[in-house]
Amino acid sequence: MITLYDLAFDNELRPSPYCWRAKLALKHKGLAWRDEPVGFNEKDKIAFAQSQIVPVLHDGTAVVKDSWAIALHLDKAYPDKPLFPNDPVKAHARFVNGWSDTAVHGLIFPMVVGDMLDTVRPQDRDYIIESRSKRIGTTDFAAFQKKARETGVTAFRQVLEPARRVLNQQPFLSGDAPAYADYILFGSFLWPHTFTKKLDLLDKNDVVWGWRECMFDLFDGFGRKVKTA
């Protein structure tokens, strides 16, 4: 039995890009899992894994934290349908992982932090104000988000250029078919998608937009069916 501890916002929203990576990896493997929602103030649920953050995967006797470690675990435990079809692809995926965590998320976060505060569970609001205000230097999340969006979308589209160049040459970041590198970046899009309204991150003429549509269609529209605010 596999259990995935997944970050929960209010109304059952599940925005965490890292948890999306884990869920997409499980889908890729065709594995079923038991879902365990974790609010920001429910860290006791993942204390057994010595973790303060999610995703955490509990698979039989294996306890795995960190989405990259989860992907490696799944590939080892379930070798069918590899997430890293060969080693050069794994190196490429590792780059996409670091690039998404830093450059991509660094530009998305300021543009969604106000909506994040509005959609977390009511009991988690104080935690988010306390922890995220330290990152943005203010407690006026709405004003900060508004200002960030003035220039943020253009900057975000620019930061996608490396992915755009790859997607101009091949349908997926992983090659002819989607694999883990695609799940990493798609997870980054699902993050704001779940709780943010009126934020057009992509232009319809962008090759990344077409790729994202294909990713939404994957696994019988798994991404299209996610609950949104």
Ligand X SMILES: N[C@@H](CCC(=O)N[C@@H](CS)C(=O)NCC(=O)O)C(=O)O
Residues touching ligand X: how many (CB under 6 A)? 12
The torsion angles phi and psi of 59, rounded to 5 degrees, stand at -125, 100
Tokens of 95: 């780059």
Should residue 55 be labelled a site residue for ligand X when binding is judged by CB under 6 A? Answer: yes
Cα–Cα distance between 157 and 170 in angstroms, integer? Answer: 19
Q: Does 93 bind ligand X (CB under 6 A)?
A: no
Please, which residues have CB within 8 angstroms of residue 165's CB and are 6 or more apart in sequence? none
Which one, 92 or 167, has the nearer CB to ligand X? 92
Does 54 bind ligand X (CB under 6 A)? Our answer is: yes
Q: Using CB under 6 A, which residues numbered 112 to 151 contact ligand X?
A: 131
Q: Does 187 bind ligand X (CB under 6 A)?
A: no
**17's tokens:** 């890009």
- 16 or 174: whose CB is closer to ligand X? 16
Provide the minimum distance between the beta carbon of 53 and ligand X in the complex, in angstroms, as a whole number: 3
CB 103 within 8 A of CB 15: no
Alpha helices in 48-140 (DSSP H): 67-77, 87-99, 105-119, 125-136
Sole binder of ligand X in the list 9, 20, 40, 99 (CB under 6 A): 40
The single residue among 10, 36, 66, 206 that binds ligand X, judged by CB under 6 A, is 66
Q: Which of residues 18-37 bind ligand X (CB under 6 A)?
A: 18
Cα→Cα distances 204→66, 152, 186, 211, 213, Å: 33, 18, 16, 11, 10
Name the minimum Å distance from CB 169 to ligand X.
Answer: 27
> Closest CB to ligand X among 156 and 183?
183
Q: Which residues bind ligand X (CB under 6 A)?
A: 7, 16-18, 40, 53-55, 66-68, 131
